[in-house]
């Protein structure tokens, strides 16, 4: 086989691969497969020992971060709750119709330092026992001046509970093989406490009460199908 013929065959193969890749590229949004309920309608304002406290506004991002959030997420919900002991827990939900659109760079260990916080304790794995099984999540601690904030968070891609990095990419790939572009939601729970262990224990109690109060569709969307 002469060099010219080999070059033509290679070019044809590369062209065919490109056509197949284009045909296989996911084009349907998972979010369009069924009606999407606004985040505010998924979260009860009173559950267990907790009640919404509308007088407390969670941390407001700086203008630069606010613009990035607006460009990345389609909907953001931030709420504060108190229990009878007046302990405060802040809940933040960030939903993106297209999880490929920058969610990876907005995990708390990146966005908190971008707002001037210092990471007092880097990210580590933890679980919270729920009725449907253990909920794996990430924890870290950030501080700014006198504000000391333990943070717990997790991410759901489509209806798969996963974590950022390779698990996040693999979850998206599994949907892509079905021709779907998955949506995603980042769930963050935080509190103001100088005692990290106490703060994380407070988060666990809040998450348990919150998960129990969610209806099955909301649990599936915010906690993954294993808890729906």
- Domain for residue 4, yes or no? no
- Domain for residue 21, yes or no? no
pLDDT of residue 215: 93
- Domain for residue 19, yes or no? no
Q: Record the tokens describing residue 40, joined without a space.
A: 């505010």
For 184, the enclosing helix (H) or strand (E) is strand 184-190
Along the 228 residues of the chain, how does pLDDT read in single tens digits? Answer: 555 555 445 444 444 433 333 444 666 888 888 788 899 999 999 999 999 999 877 666 666 666 666 667 789 999 999 999 999 999 999 998 887 655 655 789 988 998 899 999 999 999 999 988 999 999 999 999 999 999 999 999 988 998 877 787 888 888 888 898 888 899 999 999 999 999 999 999 999 999 999 999 999 999 998 765
Residues 6+ apart with CB under 8 A from 135: 127, 128, 129, 154, 161, 207, 211, 223, 227
- Domain for residue 85, yes or no? yes
Range of the domain at 141: 28-227
- Domain for residue 205, yes or no? yes
- Domain for residue 177, yes or no? yes
- Domain for residue 72, yes or no? yes
Number of domains, the chain: 1
CA 182-173-73 angle, to 5 degrees, is 35
- As a dihedral over the C-alpha atoms of residue 133, residue 39, residue 214, residue 200, rounded to 10 degrees, the angle is 50
- Domain for residue 23, yes or no? no
- As a dihedral over the C-alpha atoms of residue 142, residue 147, residue 148, residue 149, rounded to 10 degrees, the angle is -60
């Amino acid at each position: 086989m002469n060099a010219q013929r080999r070059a033509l065959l290679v070019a044809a193969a590369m062209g065919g691969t490109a056509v197949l890749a284009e045909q296989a590229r996911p084009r349907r949004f998972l979010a369009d497969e069924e009606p999407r309920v606004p985040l505010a309608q998924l979260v009860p304002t009173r559950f267990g020992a907790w009640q919404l406290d509308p007088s407390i506004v969670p941390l407001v991002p700086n203008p630069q971060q606010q613009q990035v959030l607006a460009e990345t997420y389609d909907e953001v919900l931030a709420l504060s709750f108190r229990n009878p002991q007046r302990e405060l827990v802040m809940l933040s939900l960030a939903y993106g119709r297209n999880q490929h659109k920058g969610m990876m760079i907005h995990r708390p260990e990146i966005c908190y330092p971008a707002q001037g916080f210092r990471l007092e304790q880097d990210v580590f794995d933890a679980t919270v026992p729920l009725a449907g099984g253990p909920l794996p999540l990430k924890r870290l601690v950030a501080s700014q001046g006198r504000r000391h904030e333990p943070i717990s968070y997790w991410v759901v891609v489509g209806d798969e509970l996963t974590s950022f990095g390779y698990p996040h990419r693999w979850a998206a790939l599994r949907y892509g093989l079905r021709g779907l572009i998955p949506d995603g939601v980042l769930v963050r729970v935080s509190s103001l406490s100088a005692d990290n262990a106490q703060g994380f224990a407070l988060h666990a109690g809040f998450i348990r009460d919150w998960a129990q109060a969610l209806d099955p569709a909301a649990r599936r969307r915010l906690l993954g199908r294993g808890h729906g």
